[in-house]
Chains A and B, each alone.
Chain A
Amino acid sequence: MIEPILTTRDLSKSFGGLVAVNNVTLDFAPGRVHAIIGPNGAGKTTLINLLSGDLPPSGGSITFKGRNITRLPAFEISRIGLGRSYQKTNIFPQFTCFQNCWLGAQSRLKTSMKFFRPAAAYAEVHARAERALDLCGLTHRRDLPPAQISHGEQRQLEIGMMLATEPEVFLLDEPLAGMGPEESEAVVRLLNDLARDHTLILIEHDMDAVFAVADLLTVMVDGRVLATGTPEEIRSNAEVQDAYLGSGEGQA
């Protein structure tokens, strides 16, 4: 079996009395699309927040390429190659789409503690920002601020910013939420493209999309991992049927 690129061991997070993530032990294989599904409040976003360093875990550990990253701050986790997108759109409303991607792209400089040369003169940052904008399909919205683009396009921008940081592992928290069917289709195509040479950890409620891109599925319920397996295995898992899929395909 291939060495996992990212692992969690007994990872937990509680908020006061509520255990949002409960002893989660998972291996994420490199170059795979690993989807995490589960009903609302299952702890999926919290799990991503732990992986990305947005929240410190209450217990357990996270390893990335053999290195313990459990307590690393979010900015360092981003710098070592784990990029994330947010379920709740988290962009810079004041800046244009291009500038939003720019900030992602600039973060890959060794340091931004540079005070004299104009940012615009950094050609490689420019190229990276344009590429991200192109990949997320917003080149035609380049110079507009988020307030002037559609909600679905804002969701695309959310992905574009993550692309601009050129991560190795993508943590995607419901990238399709709030997108129209056409936008969704484009993003599913993008995910399939990315999947060729990246690792994707994908939270998604849209089951058609999940079954279209995922190599592996993990079902979470009440902070726990209920089951992990291939899409076929999950589809036929009785427990999962009961807990989740049973109540109307794909809708939590």
Chain B
Amino acid sequence: MSLKAPVTFFLLIAVAGLAVFPHFSDEFYLEFFTHLMVMGIFAMSLDLLIGYTGLVSFGHAAFFGLAGYLLAIVTPQDEAVALWLSLPVCLGGAALAALVIGWFSVRTSGIYFIMITLAFAQMLFYYFNENEALGGSDGIFIFSKPFVGFGDWQIIDLANPTTVYYFVLASLVACYLLLTVMLRAPFGQVIQAIRANEHRTRALGYDTQRYKLVAFVIAGTMAGFAGYLEAVSTGIVSPGHLHWHNSGLVMMHVILGGMGTLYGPILGAFILGLLHDQVQEVTEHWHLVQGVFVIFVVLFLPRGIAGLVGRLFGRPPDLDLEENRVAGEDGNKVDAEPNGERTK
């Protein structure tokens, strides 16, 4: 269950590239890349649900937007709020929302799970969209960035775009490592087993509902973290952050990037984001191009962009779920055969 050398090598190069990027970039692209990294964290958190636990959440933007709004709410008019204070509040709020939404959702499965997560997220969307005190459909500005430091001593200045860039980059790496560690731990084994065969996982003695709920809360909290970073870097939160378009977009990042790989969804966020940026300059028909791109990836890269990375680096991606998917296709036979050959 490990990521083997070639892909790790690719990831290290990618991180090194991101680390030196600010030296070559203008402010626009610096902020754009900050946004893409935030979307990468967001997409990774959804991959924990879709790619590892098998929970297709269509309401993931709820946590992203909620944490952003919480930051706006706890930030006073013309004063900074401490990061030590605001971050736990925002993450706690996202976690609590995920606990409530998850508590209802994990009881359902398949299409019902998709619908119920969507319904909850849309409820939150309408709440913030109609809430004039929070700017209604225009959203709300956050004028002062969270203060990172103690007393008068400021450690880093989140008003500086380059600092925010590195802060987000460090967060991206930290989230990736955290998820990797969790996926290798007993908890990670159980959620991957749930995705593969929930019924058997339960029969083996695991309370699968609880594991799904915990995964949902972890993913929701991490999505909240992404939303917090987005609010910090852009200084604005709007209902669009919670809209189902955003949930759909991040789902697209996960699926096109390659579910069950963690790094794939980050690639998905970058490639779709950059493509959008480039296409926008030459044509208005972004959605048409996006559609063609989606069809292309789905038809020719069944394992998403991550599958291509694996191939370029000499072997298929090595996270065990990758090789597993191949086996999984035949795996259906495993189920079917005994029926046919059963002794009568």
User: B-contacting residues of A (Cβ < 8 Å)?
Assistant: 40, 52, 54, 73-76, 78-79, 84, 87-95, 99, 102-104, 106-109, 112-120, 122, 145-148, 151, 154-155, 161, 165, 174, 176-178, 205-206, 251-252
Contacts and interface: CB of A to CB of B under 8 A. Distances in A.
A115 B187 contact: yes
Interface of B: 1, 181-182, 184-190, 193, 196-197, 199-208, 210-211, 214, 320-321, 323-325, 327-328, 330-335, 337-339, 341-344
Contact of B186 (A90, A114, A176, A252): A114
A104 B214 CA distance: 21
Contacts of B188: 119
Given A79-B205, A94-B196, A106-B189, A177 B338 contact: yes
B258 to A, nearest CB: 16
Nearest to B204: A107
Nearest to A204: B343
Contacts of B214: 113
A103 B193 contact: yes
Contact of B338 (A87, A118, A161): A87
Given A87-B342, A103-B193, A119 B331 contact: no
Contact of A78 (B187, B205, B323, B327): B205
A174 B343 CA distance: 9
Contacts of B341: 151, 177-178
10 contacts: A75-B208, A78-B204, A78-B205, A92-B200, A93-B332, A113-B211, A146-B331, A146-B334, A147-B333, A165-B204
A40 to B, nearest CB: 7
Nearest to B208: A75
Contacts of B184: 118-120
Contacts of A117: 185-186
A85 to B, nearest CB: 10
A194 to B, nearest CB: 18
Given A91-B197, A95-B324, A103-B193, A116 B182 contact: yes
Contact of A88 (B189, B331, B338): B338
A206 B342 CA distance: 12
Contact of B334 (A76, A93, A115, A165): A93
Contacts of B187: 112-115
Contacts of B327: 93-94, 145-148
Main SS class of interface, B: helix
B205 A177 contact: no
Contacts of A155: 338
Contacts of B203: 52, 54, 74-75, 78, 84, 90
A129 to B, nearest CB: 11
Main SS class of interface, A: loop
Given A92-B197, A92-B200, A93-B327, A109 B337 contact: no
Residue from the set B205, B320, B335, B339 with the largest chain A CB neighbour count within 10 Å: B205
A126 B329 CA distance: 28
Closest 4 CB pairs of A and B: A93-B331, A94-B324, A78-B205, A107-B205
Contacts of B197: 90-93
A115 B204 contact: no
A120 B199 CA distance: 24
Given A92-B197, A95-B324, A103-B193, A75 B338 contact: no
A95 B211 contact: no
A237 B104 CA distance: 54
Contacts of A205: 343-344
A114 B211 CA distance: 11
A165 B201 CA distance: 12
A88 B203 CA distance: 14
A187 to B, nearest CB: 14
Given A94-B325, A115-B181, A151-B338, A75 B202 contact: yes
A116 B185 contact: yes
Residue from the set B188, B200, B330, B333 with the largest chain A CB neighbour count within 10 Å: B200
Contacts of A251: 344
B49 to A, nearest CB: 16
Nearest to B332: A93
Nearest to A108: B205
B219 to A, nearest CB: 13
Given A90-B200, A106-B189, A178 B337 contact: yes
A95 B196 contact: yes
Contacts of A93: 196-197, 327-328, 330-332, 334-335
Contacts of A79: 205
Contact of B200 (A91, A120, A122): A91
